[in-house]
Structure 1
Amino acid sequence: MTKATDTEVYQLLKKWQIPYERVEHQAVFTVAEIDFSIEGSEVKNLLLKGKRSKNYYLVICSGNKRLDIKALAKMLAERHLSFASETELFDLLGLEKGSVTPLALSHDTLHQINLIIDQTIDQTQKIGFHPNINTTTLVITFSDFKRFLANLSIEPKYLTIPSKPLDTH
């Protein structure tokens, strides 16, 4: 697999006439490190895999959600879910840790990854994703994001992603 680049994302957005706002920032590896704001939904993108099934899932959920991986595994009929390794992330999407993004799904030419989008994300809001690097965020409308996926022949599954209750201690 070749390394995913921001250039290829910009080329696809241009080809498909998808407008975007570009926000440059310090490298961020987690949602917690974000010290800038975008106009729209703040989300996190996680690449998970089924332990036995070897199915891969790119999960997009609200940035402040504490994902309940066990409950999500049950919803997806998986015995156990874990985070994909850095090697798997690179082999599947050409990405490095900290830059997981659905904008790299053009690299998943064998369609090995199931895209799961939290249906609690407000689809009337804009949404921000890294363009394969974690020093930039591109903000697009949700409808344009759906168009991006359709151009890649990706049909996302919308689920209410389960969350763990916040600790009240």
Structure 2
Amino acid sequence: MLFNGGLVPSYIMWTGFGVVNTIWAYVLPFMLTNAFSIILIRSFFSSTIPGELYESAKMDGAGYFRIFWRMAMPLGKPILVTIGLFSCLNYWNDWQNGLYFITDPSMLSIQAVLNKMNQNIQAVLSYTSMSSSSMVQLPQVSIRMAIAFVAILPILIMYPFLQKYFASGIMSGAVKG
């Protein structure tokens, strides 16, 4: 879980597939391939949904596909929404994919643009501290907080729509017997 294959093999692979400077450069390189998500989903399904439920569906004549779509997927909505939210947050906060796979400035994500703005502010501040002329002081904390607010705004908008799935997951985990 701590170490992956590395940046160089993935960069060579994804540039070979031609995802550089495309929208797929943001989606494909690290798509749902972390062990944390797999362990979280597996432990949810093994600890929350009893095996007797699957067994009774088999006795009623349901096949694996029907059990999956009619029983496991509706009962697994809370964990799937949670993993989806984690993945969305991961992609939203990721500026490294833009750094590695995007060279066109018009294709940069908002996080990559905000990171460049932060670097530019740091460069201006270091230049003004080195120069002898007294220039206007930049409000560095205010600019960083404005950048953080812009970055968190879509998540704040999305969360209330997903909250009902989290509440249903808590309720389904609390009712035993």
- Same fold flag (TM > 0.5): no
Instruction: Please give the TM-score of this superposition, normalised by the length of structure 2.
Output: 0.22
Higher strand proportion: 1
Instruction: Please give the TM-score of this superposition, normalised by the length of structure 1.
Output: 0.23
* Higher Cα Rg, which structure: 2
